[in-house]
Amino acid sequence: MTGRNSTSGNGWTENKKLVLHRQEEVEHDIRQMRKRIEKLERQIAIHRAQSRMVAGVIGAIAGLVPVVVAILLGRM
């Protein structure tokens, strides 16, 4: 028997070889996606920390404004 479904010398059909090859490609793609997801998660964590820091600075400045206004008005 010849063609796509013929049995090779080691007992594997061509279809099984193609399925295994495709499975390896899919597993490789999944590993690459996991690496990208991990990188994105790290970037998100960094941006989250930076935004908290900026929010804290803005809050501190906003909290000082009434104090500065009170001091300036007290000196007048």
The alpha helices in 1-76, defined as continuous H runs, are: 14-75
Answer yes or no: pTM beyond 0.85: no
pLDDT value of residue 9: 56
The half-sphere exposure of 13 on its side-chain side, counting CA atoms within 13 A, is 9
pLDDT tens by residue, the chain, 76 residues: 445 555 555 667 888 989 999 999 999 999 999 999 999 999 999 999 999 999 999 999 999 999 999 998 888 7
pLDDT value of residue 74: 86
pLDDT value of residue 41: 98
